């Protein structure tokens, strides 16, 4: 079995041309035309680091705790790559995600080989005194502090051609690896790029596709929060959206290069190809509630967080996580597949480890909370999943959500905020808390998420059981 697993960080589902023809992704569209398309794929543990644990382990950190925190893989934990490697499969990771490997994380654990394209997100790996690292924006409009943003400018100064950008170079390396290993009977190649994560700085011709001739202020790495309260104008937000869409198109072009390499080598028809993300992004788009970044909390008075690199929170306001961040693209092309199969059953990241192991004829460990997607991809029936579950830890504060195509229910077991219910059918902009109007829906969804993630709810009663 040959498998290529592509993970593109912060890629909104609605920025696949499959769902939105305003975004140019011809290569991913062609992949989708011969793949299983999971229309109800959702985030599990949020954000980047917790998601990688979901994918690699297929479960939460401990019995009764469903959602992973942001921490390294422990010595006692066995990611799926380790199981494949022990079974004799050649496993290779190629990544440019700085907080996955270069900042002390060990999320390459279990891979026999890993290659890191350094420099993303202000990763400091080289300096040059001739590069001007002065930030031209006020710190209130930049997520990073001066040093971190200076590193972004240093790393960017090396760019001359498209392959100098991160995603194109990472995928180029993946293509080179395939050319060197195409004769192998079995391999698992993990290709991971931080794009379209901010800073949104693709080559200018990608930006001009969506917002030609723009001459205004460029906000490419904003703090998390409400863009108007941050002082980002509606026009600047439209340009921000163009830069994000440009990054998605750049990623699509890089994916197309890899698919063309598989085809050139005669591997496309015999290789399983995955494409997914860890979460989306808010960009002031419909349904984002006026937010940019991926805030699950803001400073209440400011309406923002991570301003100028500061993590401080004096008066936090915790936020529900909406569809722009919680819906995922998930495409899986099976060997020999010729036609698309649209799958409505809910899928989540902890299903991916059992699915990959199943592809290679390996059994998933019994402690998993995900399940292989292969049976439903092959047309088999499985019991429906009424909800997807999303969660995040920040210090002692825990957010747990249940969601589907109709509702989002968000609850903080510690009582930091009252529960939220978003009615996606009647409130597509996702602005109103409809919990008081639908106590029966809240009761059912609260019970569901408490059963899925029982430990944080151990001493928390359902607040909706006595309401009518």
Three-class secondary structure assignment of the chain = CEEEEEEECCCCHHHCCCCCCCCCCHHHHHHHCCCEEECCEECCECCHHHHHHHHHHCCCCECCECCCCCCCCCCCCCCHHHHHHHCCCEEEEEECCHHHHCCCCCCCCCCCEEEECCCHHHCCCCCCCCCCCCCCCCHHHCCCCHHHHHHHHHHHCCCCCHHHCHHHHHHHHHHHHHHHHCCCCCEEEEEEECCCCCCCCCCHHHHHHHCCCCCCCCCCCCCEEEHHHHCCCHHHHHHHHHHHHHHHHHHHHHHHHHHHHHHHCCCHHHEEEEEECCCCCEECCCCCCCEEECCCEEECCCCEECHHHCCCCCCEEECCCCHHHHECCEEEECCCCCCCEEECCCECHHHHHHHHHHHCCCCCCCCCCCCCCHHHHCCCCCCCCCCEEEEEEECCEEEEEEECCCEEEEECCCCCCCCEEEECCCCCCCCCCCHHHCHHHHHHHHHHHHHHCCHHHCCCCCCCCCCC
Over residues 385-394, the pLDDT tens digits come to 999 999 999 9
pLDDT higher than threshold 60 for residue 281: yes
Task: Output the pLDDT for position 101.
Answer: 72
Instruction: Give the strand pairing for 316-318 and 330-333.
Output: unpaired
188 and 273 Cβ atoms separated by less than 8 Å: no
For residues 363-384, average pLDDT: 91
Distance in angstroms (rounded) separating the CA atoms of residues 287 and 282:
9
- With left for phi above 0 and alpha for psi between -120 and 50, is residue 164 left, alpha or beta? alpha
Q: Which of 68-77, 264-273, 305-314 has the highest mean pLDDT?
A: 264-273
CB 108 within 8 A of CB 91: no
CA 3 vs. chain centroid, Å, equals: 20
Residue 329 has pLDDT above 70, yes or no: yes
Structure confidence at residue 164 (pLDDT): 96
- Distance from the Cα of residue 71 to its chain's centroid: 17
To which residue do tokens 């989306």 refer?
280
The pTM of this model reads 0.97
Give the burial class of 92: count Cβ atoms within 10 A of its Cβ; 0-12 exposed, 13-18 middle, 19 or more buried.
Answer: buried
Q: How far apart are the first and last CA of the chain?
A: 55
Percent of the chain with pLDDT over 70: 99
The answer, yes or no, to whether residue 284 has pLDDT greater than 90, is yes
Average pLDDT for the chain: 95
pLDDT at 438: 97
Q: Please give the pLDDT value at position 102.
A: 66
Taking only the tens place, the pLDDT of each residue in 64-91 is 999 999 999 999 999 999 999 999 999 9
Is residue 408 within 8 Å of 323, Cβ to Cβ? yes
Mean pLDDT, residues 10-29:
97
Task: Say if residue 294's pLDDT is above 60.
Answer: yes
Instruction: For residues 432-456, give the mean pLDDT.
Output: 97
Please determine, for residue 467, whether its predicted confidence score (pLDDT) is greater than 60.
Answer: no
Domain boundaries of the chain, sorted by first residue:
2-377, 388-457
**Burial environment of residue 146 by CB neighbours within 10 A (0 to 12, 13 to 18, 19 or more):** middle
CB-based burial label for 104 (10 Å; 0-12, 13-18, 19+):
exposed
Asked if 39 and 330 touch (Cβ cutoff 8 Å), the reply is no
pLDDT digits (tens, 9 = 90+) for 123-173: 888 899 999 998 888 988 999 888 888 999 999 999 999 999 999 999 999
Integer Cα distance of 1 and 288 in angstroms: 40
What are 388's two structure tokens? 């997807």
CA–CA separation, 407 and 345 (whole Å): 16
Q: Flag the least confident range among 198-202, 308-312, 397-401.
A: 308-312
| Confidence band, pLDDT 50/70/90 cuts, at residue 368 | confident
Q: Give the per-residue pLDDT at 201.
A: 96
Residues whose CB falls within 8 Å of the CB of residue 215, separated by 6 or more in sequence, listed in order: none
The domain 2-377 is placed in CATH, from the list 3.40.50.970, 3.40.350.10, 3.40.50.300, 3.40.720.10, at 3.40.720.10
Note the pLDDT of residue 122. Answer: 85
Q: Quote the pLDDT of residue 433.
A: 98
Q: Give residue 468's pLDDT.
A: 52
Q: Please say if the pLDDT value at position 29 is more than 80.
A: yes
In this structure, the dihedral spanned by the alpha carbons of residues 371, 377, 383 and 387, taken in order and rounded to 10 degrees, is 70
Q: Which fold has domain 388-457?
A: Arylsulfatase, C-terminal domain (3.30.1120)
Q: What's the CA gap between 221 and 174, in Å, rounded?
A: 27
pLDDT exceeds 90 at position 381: no
In contact, 195 and 251? CB cutoff 8 Å: yes
Is residue 332 within 8 A of residue 273, CB to CB? The reply is yes
């Amino acid at each position: 079995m040959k498998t290529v697993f592509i993970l593109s960080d912060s890629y909104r589902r609605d920025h696949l041309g499959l769902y939105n023809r305003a975004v140019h992704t011809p290569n991913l569209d062609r992949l989708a035309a011969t793949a299983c398309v999971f229309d109800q794929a959702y985030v599990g543990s949020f954000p980047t680091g917790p998601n990688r644990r979901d994918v690699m382990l297929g479960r939460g950190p401990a019995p009764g705790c469903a959602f992973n925190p942001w921490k390294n893989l422990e010595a006692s934990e066995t990611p799926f790559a380790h199981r494949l490697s022990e079974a004799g499969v050649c496993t290779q990771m190629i990544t440019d995600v700085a907080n996955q490997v270069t900042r002390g994380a060990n999320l390459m654990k279990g891979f026999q080989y890993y290659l890191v394209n350094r420099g993303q997100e202000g990763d400091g790996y080289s300096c040059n005194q001739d590069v001007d690292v002065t930030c031209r924006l006020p710190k209130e409009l930049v997520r990073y502090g001066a040093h971190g943003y200076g590193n972004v400018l240093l790393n960017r100064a090396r760019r001359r051609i498209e392959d100098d950008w991160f995603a194109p170079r990472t995928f180029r390396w993946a293509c080179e690896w395939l050319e060197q290993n195409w004769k192998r009977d079995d391999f698992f190649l993990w290709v991971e790029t931080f794009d379209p994560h901010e800073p949104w700085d693709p080559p200018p011709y990608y930006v001009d596709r969506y917002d030609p001739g723009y001459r205004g202020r460029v906000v490419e790495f904003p703090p998390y929060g409400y863009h108007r309260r941050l002082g980002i104008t509606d026009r600047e937000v439209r340009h921000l959206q163009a830069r994000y869409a440009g990054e998605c198109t750049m990623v699509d072009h890089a994916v197309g290069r890899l698919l063309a390499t598989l085809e050139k080598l005669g591997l496309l028809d015999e290789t399983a190809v995955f494409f997914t993300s860890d979460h989306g992004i808010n960009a002031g788009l419909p349904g984002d509630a006026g937010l940019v970044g991926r805030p699950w909390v803001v400073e209440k008075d400011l309406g923002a967080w991570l301003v100028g690199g500061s993590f401080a929170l004096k008066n936090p306001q915790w936020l529900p996580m909406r569809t722009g961040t919680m819906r995922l693209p998930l495409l899986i092309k099976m060997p020999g597949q010729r036609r698309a199969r649209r799958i409505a059953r809910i899928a989540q990241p902890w299903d991916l480890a059992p699915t990959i192991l199943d592809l290679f004829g390996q059994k998933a460990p019994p402690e998993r909370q995900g399940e292989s997607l292969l049976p439903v991809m092959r047309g088999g029936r499985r019991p429906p999943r009424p909800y997807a579950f999303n969660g995040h830890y920040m210090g002692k504060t825990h957010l747990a959500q249940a969601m589907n195509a109709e509702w989002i229910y968000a609850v903080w077991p510690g009582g930091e905020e009252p529960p939220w219910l978003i009615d996606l059918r009647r409130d597509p902009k996702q602005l109103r808390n409809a919990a008081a109007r639908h106590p029966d829906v809240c009761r059912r969804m609260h019970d569901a998420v408490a059963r899925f993630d029982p430990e944080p709810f151990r001493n928390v009663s359902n607040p909706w059981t006595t309401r009518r």
